[in-house]
Chains A and B, each alone.
Chain A
Amino acid sequence: DAGVTQSPTHLIKTRGQQVTLRCSPKSGHDTVSWYQQALGQGPQFIFQYYEEEERQRGNFPDRFSGHQFPNYSSELNVNALLLGDSALYLCASSYRTVRSRETQYFGPGTRLLVL
């Protein structure tokens, strides 16, 4: 049973560039959430996708956008990169049931460094 996978594992970009991170959910899961984790801090929720639509969004600017594909995989796009965007980006997948008993399982993350 494949777990959540993310690519790439590491990425180095310069200020002003754009980046795309990818996530494949755990088998059987249909919901993908993205989190940003700065060094020494807890993860912060960016947004969640279900049925190819953004369902909830955290306090992140419009430079952060996403997409979910029919196979439930997802992309996170960040435009006009800032130094402060350097972080570990975590993808989590879950299965949305009627009772919303969603337990989120995380991928290994993508480490983004902006120079």
Chain B
Amino acid sequence: AQTVTQSQPEMSVQEAETVTLSCTYDTSENNYYLFWYKQPPSRQMILVIRQEAYKQQNATENRFSVNFQKAAKSFSLKISDSQLGDTAMYFCAFMKHEETSGSRLTFGEGTQLTVNP
């Protein structure tokens, strides 16, 4: 079974600064996907960024980028130019590649990020 660990329950950052959220995972699979989702107080789960394990290049989406270290099983999220609207719970999630059967997301426990003005 896969496990996802987010060791930082809470973090805070000043507006316009950069922050990095950590995530490690444990798997014996070689082909998988990693995701970061954010969940603001409305509790709507919103996709932030996605990484395919076979791709060596780190994914980026505007102010959001990841540092994917496959050998170390590490998948951190960097948020640049933090904005007040980035305040949310951030979840790291793992999905095993499946050709025939269904696929599931395995989530970490989350990191509550607060952006201060």
Contacts and interface: CB of A to CB of B under 8 A. Distances in A.
Interface of A: 31, 33, 35, 37, 41-45, 48, 50, 55-56, 58, 88, 90, 92, 100-106, 108-109, 111
Interface stretch (B61-69, B79-87, B102-110): B102-110
B103 A106 contact: no
Interface of B: 4, 33, 35, 37, 42-47, 50, 52, 91, 95, 97-99, 101-110
Given A42-B107, A102-B95, A56 B102 contact: yes
A105 B47 CA distance: 7
A48 B104 contact: yes
Contacts of A101: 33, 52
20 contacts: A31-B102, A33-B104, A35-B105, A41-B110, A42-B110, A43-B45, A43-B91, A44-B107, A48-B104, A56-B101, A56-B103, A58-B104, A92-B105, A100-B98, A100-B103, A103-B35, A104-B95, A108-B44, A109-B43, A109-B44
Looking at chain A's contact residues, the main secondary structure is strand
Nearest to A31: B102
A111 B43 CA distance: 10
A92 B35 CA distance: 14
A4 B63 CA distance: 25
A45 B105 contact: yes
Contacts of B98: 100
Nearest to B9: A40
B105 A104 contact: yes
A55 B107 contact: no
Given A44-B107, A58-B104, A109-B44, 14 more contacts: A33-B104, A42-B108, A43-B105, A48-B102, A48-B103, A56-B104, A90-B45, A101-B52, A102-B103, A103-B50, A104-B95, A104-B105, A106-B37, A106-B46
